[in-house]
Amino acid sequence: MQPVSDVIVVGGGLAGLTSAIHLSRAGLHVIVVEKHQFPRHKVCGEYISNEVLPYLQWLGADPAVLQPAQIDRVSISAVTGKMVETPLPMGGFGISRYALDQFLMEQAVNNGCELLEDTVTDIVFEHNRFIVSTADHGMLTARFVFGAYGKRAALDQQLDRSFLKERSPWLAIKGHYRGSFPDGLVALHNFRGGYCGVSKVENEIINICYLVSYDTFKQFKNIDTHRQEVLHRNKHLQQIFENSEPLFERPLTISQVSFAEKEKVDRHILMTGDTAGLIHPLCGNGMAMAIHSAKIASEQVLQFFEGNIPSRSILENNYTKAWKKEFGKRIGAGKILSALFRKDRLSAAVMKGLVLFPALLPVIIKQTHGRPLKVNS
């Protein structure tokens, strides 16, 4: 068994890599265990609110070097095609996970993080430390473990997490395209049984990512048929797809996407990003929340190592409270918005109200976004 590390991060996505950068720049010994090779594409909306930009810059991981697409407007359409557009409060940027995760991984490794390409098979907490079992590297030990392995994984079953008991009826589909789409815009187009986000990332690539309930999707033979018969009924989506060329051989998919409540600390593991909780993609803010959650967890652990938090139980309680304070209302607002847009009549009524009173849309958006993150100088 290897020497005890300060922190093992399970998962090399946004939350995992951001926390690894934060902790390692403070001098902790961090191991990141990621089962996939870098770089790789992921099912993701690939839009990030500027609220996290000061934090990324403070970490020395300014994404500007990747030349992301700058986004300053948002449009929303109902199933009928009725649409409203407004300036996006605070703005954001579009960057592919293929580019961003690779970039963050390189920053973490440059900071001295140890990156293992391996699969975690079990995590046990005993004698005030963690034993992390891996497929290829045997057992690793650490004082803290961050869970950052995404929306759903076999490890959730191994840990017997409670959210698995609830039905997960969502399917997520994503692809990259070449075509004509306005600069500076993120569009959220609704269709029967789901909604679709469209925006540019780096190199003028268009990212199209949508969420659909499996109950409506299963009526069709495949993704292409469903797109033709359902998504194209929204004229804006039809126009986008018919004037775009796919860059992937086939779209990426994730099934059983769950928006159920998840434990923020489970068996003393600090859960971050989608592993701690998922906001509906309609809100377009999941990537920023993942990065922000990594900041909260990292700050708590660093305070513990500095002696400012006297016990693990207090740290865990602090993290849970901070997570719920920052994200609880956002996730609640996301559930309400998702429920409204899943019902055709309610969706039509909401869109009618937004067309008549477009100033309401920025107010709604602010309910699912935060303020620019404060960082220590």
How confident is residue 352, by pLDDT bands cut at 50, 70 and 90?
low
Q: Crossing angle of helices 286-305/312-342, nearest 10°?
A: 170
Looking at the predicted structure, is the pLDDT value of residue 377 above 60?
no
> Quick one: what percent of the chain has pLDDT higher than 90?
72
CA distance 55 to 74: 23
Instruction: Please report which helix (H) or strand (E) contains residue 124, including its range.
Output: strand 120-126
Give the separation between CA 280 and CA 170, rounded to whole angstroms: 11
For the beta carbon of residue 22, count every other beta carbon within 10 angstroms: 25
Q: Is 370 a residue whose pLDDT tops 80?
A: no
Mean pLDDT, residues 76-80 taken together: 85
Q: Give the C-alpha separation, 93 to 107, whole Å.
A: 20
Average pLDDT of the residues in 277-286: 78
pLDDT at 193: 87
Distance of alpha carbon 302 from alpha carbon 309, whole angstroms:
9
Residue 89: pLDDT band with limits 50, 70, 90: confident
Give the pLDDT of residue 194. 87
Task: Tell me phi and psi for residue 367, to 5 degrees.
Answer: -70, -20
The average confidence (pLDDT) of the chain is 91
Cβ(291)–Cβ(59) under 8 Å? no
**What pLDDT sits at residue 342?**
64
Q: Residue 60 pLDDT more than 60? A: yes
Residue 306: pLDDT over 90: yes
Measured in degrees and rounded to the nearest 5, phi and psi for residue 364 equal -65, -45
- For 8-19, write each residue's pLDDT tens digit: 999 999 999 999
Rounded CA separation 275/160 (Å): 13
Lowest mean pLDDT among 165-169, 183-187, 334-338: 334-338
Q: How far apart are CA 147 and CA 144, in angstroms?
A: 10
When mean pLDDT is compared across 31-35, 160-164, 363-367, the lowest value belongs to: 363-367
Confidence class for position 331, pLDDT limits 50, 70, 90? confident
> What spatial distance separates the first Cα and last Cα of the chain, rounded to whole Å?
39
pLDDT digits (tens, 9 = 90+) for 231-261: 999 999 999 999 999 999 999 999 988 888 9
- Give the tens place of pLDDT for each residue, 34-59: 999 999 999 999 999 999 999 999 99
What pLDDT was estimated at residue 344?
63
